[in-house]
Structure 1
């Protein structure tokens, strides 16, 4: 079932984290913070919404990193229920795609909860002060990639954030599969 996150809570401070990456290192928010802003993405390996735009996520991440925006992706899904989203599965995907950003494992789901992540993909765009300025979609794609000439909503918003410190007032929420939460103990 498709879900959408709430609208952007402008100025909300990015919660810190310390998570293992597929590169074998621990990463914190300060490690991935960029001088022109930071993009934190909640993604996973199996979601059809993510798979449909994975090449566009990579394109936009590379373009944003070239502008000084730090980028990291986090997988928080319950790997027992969704084995494709296990840490080993994440390592395989990271190697296959030669990810240009850290791909982090939120095994206990505490970071997803701290960010109030709702779906995959869920994008959090912060300015240089780590204040939330964008919580919208990548582009108008859904379960299938839209035309190649779609407006790059995420990229354009983060370009504005990098240059002005402020995100666009009009934002269209992302849509995707819900985060796969573990059963409460």
Structure 2
């Protein structure tokens, strides 16, 4: 079932975290933050919406890093119910796809809850002070990739944040699979 996150709450301050990554390091939000802003993406290994655009996520992350935007992805899914989202499988995915950003594991789901993550993918674009400026989609893709020439909503929004400190007022929410919450 497809889920969309709420509209952007401009200026909302992102809560900190300390999460283990597939590169055997632990990262905080400050470790990820770039001088021009930060992009935190809630993704997972098995979601068809994520898999359809993983190459575009990688492309946009690399391009945003060049603009001074720090980037990381977080997997918060219940790995017991969804073994494809286990930490070991996350490490395999990061290596196989050569992710240019840390892929973090939110095993307790505390970070996803604190951030109000709703789906995979769910994009949180922050300004240089950690205030939310973008909570929209990557592009027009859904469970299937949009045409290659589709406008790059996320990239253009975060480029604007890097240049002005402000995200676009008009944003189209992301769509994806719901976060797979633990039953306990």
* Shorter-chain TM band: over 0.9
Task: Name the structure 1 match of 2:21.
Answer: 21
Q: Per-residue displacement from partner, 1:143-174 (whole Å, max 9, x unpaired)?
A: 00010000000000000000000000000000
1:69 maps onto 2:69 in alignment: yes
Q: Give the aligned partner of residue 85 of structure 1.
A: 85
Aligned with 1:65: secondary structure?
helix
The CA distance in 1 between the partners of 2:115 and 2:66, in whole Å, is 25
Q: How far off is 1:137 after superposition? A: 0.1
Matched, 1:9 2:9: yes
1:133 Cα deviation from its structure 2 partner = 0.1
Structure 2: runs of 5 or more not aligned: none
Q: Which residue of 2 aligns with 1:157?
A: 157
CA distance in 1 between partners of 2:62 and 2:176 (Å): 22
* Contiguous gaps of at least 5 residues in structure 1: none
- How far the C-alpha of 1:98 sits from its partner, in A, is 1.1
In the alignment, the residues of structure 2 paired with residue 155 and residue 129 of structure 1 have an alpha-carbon distance, to the nearest angstrom, of 19
1:176 paired with 2:181, answer: no
List 4+ stretches of structure 1 deviating above 3 A: none
TM-score, normalised on structure 2?
1.00
Instruction: Answer yes or no: is 1:100 the counterpart of 2:96.
Output: no
Aligned length in residues: 184
Q: Could you tell me the TM-score, scaled by structure 1's length? A: 0.99
Which residue is equivalent to 1:32?
32
When the two chains are superposed, the root-mean-square deviation of aligned CA atoms in Å is: 0.4
